Chains A and B, each alone.
Chain A
């Protein structure tokens, strides 16, 4: 895998930046090279947030993504902004609970999943992004479920380990939407 790139985008507070970090942590657990690069400064004003995650077997050149393998969107403005950044054949994964438009491109794989509804059913809105990571993992194999679980154990302090099963549950629900 060389420079596999994922853009995550949505509103601030949806857990975009931390979801990107979790994806990077999972890939790091597999011994991959990873980079995580956030939107920062005035770009974040107005409540939007995005980050770029690159996963690779080789040292990573630019952490800034010009053509993404996957774009994960949690709001409509993000989808309108980042759909064009996808490589042909790339994955556009959207939260269909919040986004009600269709992609304009036909050369991409489109997955619409009700991430916020899943999260709401599970009683924790942070699970929306986690479910989308499940879908990302299943659809592309850029990191495995096992690595996701193991990296959570490593990164989370012991006192939060009771939250891991809930995260995995959301992860699995999201994975079921992968084509």
Chain B
């Protein structure tokens, strides 16, 4: 049963959701605009007998995550773009050692120190690697505070299920804003057995080891192939998206997270002008909902796609790969921490609809 809606900040909801999902280990380092996750954890973890450590660096924080995950714990860290760059070493090791962990990136504008306002410039980093080696993270992009809650709980289940890192990719808007959220009375927490964890050997005959190093090329290749097999299973089972009005849409917007919620309101405005606009909102950025995009591109009612992002055009590459030349794919992006307005997006829609070269 859902409880009454309460007004809460996105960052605090992430922390609360993690605790509700059974996370008792949080390791972090301060950075704007995700600090409230830390503040909430610093207080709550002590109250409920969990662990909160303010690490000396992002590098150290992610390695504490690695340690706690090795020990079988549900564990989370959160940061924002420059801090996530520092965590990439540990993220790659977590992938290599097949450890479950949740990493939250409340994205700010880059590159470098960039700015502290919302952005989606870390799409490539989140979905295409970030660290070294052939690996994937499951990347989830919530679009509201309610979704931050529900998908953060889910992230812990998915991490344990696949023994992989799940990244919550938010942005400064989602982290900083307050919105109503309705908590469930009971969380759908799935408790996975972790016989592989380093908990002390106890009565076990063999000792457990957690490692990502395989010096023998044949052994490493086999390990990598196993990882790829696992990723295939994830691709088959965990693609999530929201589709709106694809039955009769002439123009289909692709957008995730903050951009999707702004774009959604444009659909209504466009309809008032007689333009049928639909939307595909990837909820998982990896695995990417390529199939529905490809199928939509093949439909005769669909004339074009418009991809809207807070960057110079990153997810649009995946959209184009999925559309595969069947229809034109246009792009509208804002950077530096600016958000597109509904009017900007609507103007673009009108232009595309007129058949102009956009």
Contacts and interface: CB of A to CB of B under 8 A. Distances in A.
Interface of A: 3, 21, 24-25, 28, 33-38, 40-42, 58-64, 66
A21 B6 CA distance: 11
B116 A59 contact: no
Contact of B173 (A3, A59, A64): A64
A62 B7 contact: no
22 contacts: A21-B178, A28-B5, A35-B177, A36-B179, A37-B176, A37-B178, A38-B176, A40-B32, A41-B32, A41-B33, A58-B265, A58-B268, A59-B144, A59-B261, A61-B263, A61-B264, A61-B266, A62-B173, A62-B258, A62-B261, A63-B173, A64-B339
Interface majority SS on A: helix, strand, loop or mixed?
mixed
Contacts, number: 63
Contacts of A41: 32-33, 116
Contacts of A58: 265, 268
Contact of B176 (A28, A33, A40): A40
Interface string B24-50: 000000001100000000000000000
Contacts of A36: 7, 177-179
B32 A24 contact: no
A25 B7 contact: yes
A66 B258 CA distance: 15
A73 B46 CA distance: 39
Contacts of B339: 62, 64
Contacts of A66: 341
Contacts of B261: 59-62
B60 interface: no
A30 B272 CA distance: 27
Given A40-B116, A42-B116, A35 B179 contact: yes
A59 B279 CA distance: 15
